[in-house]
Amino acid sequence: PLPKEYTGVLAENGFNQTQYYDNIYNLLDENNVSYSVLDYQEIYNSTSYFGDPGHLNEATSGPFTALVAKDIARINNETQTINK
């Protein structure tokens, strides 16, 4: 995820983040590349999670790490099931 300050500067300079990722996903699809997307951008909706604009605070970092680990394990399990 990117801090709102960063995404704001990108937008001010003409960078369209949605279009950028759409282009990447289209290229992957055109080449039949299997992929998963972990999107945690919504975490920036709660400023109480952060010690500063780019770093989670101690109370949030552990649960967030556990969430990412759980999501990666789920993707790995799904991939192994498909490949059997």
Residue owning tokens 């490949």: 83
Determine contact, residues 1/44, Cβ cutoff 8 Å.
yes
pLDDT at 9: 94
Determine contact, residues 4/53, Cβ cutoff 8 Å.
yes
pLDDT at 16: 93
The pLDDT of residue 13 is above 90: yes
The pLDDT of residue 82 is above 90: no
CA separation for the pair 6, 53 (Å, rounded): 9
pLDDT at 69: 96
Q: 16-41 pLDDT, tens per residue?
A: 989 999 999 999 999 999 889 999 98
Please tell me the pTM assigned to this model.
Answer: 0.71
Q: What percent of the chain has pLDDT over 90?
A: 56
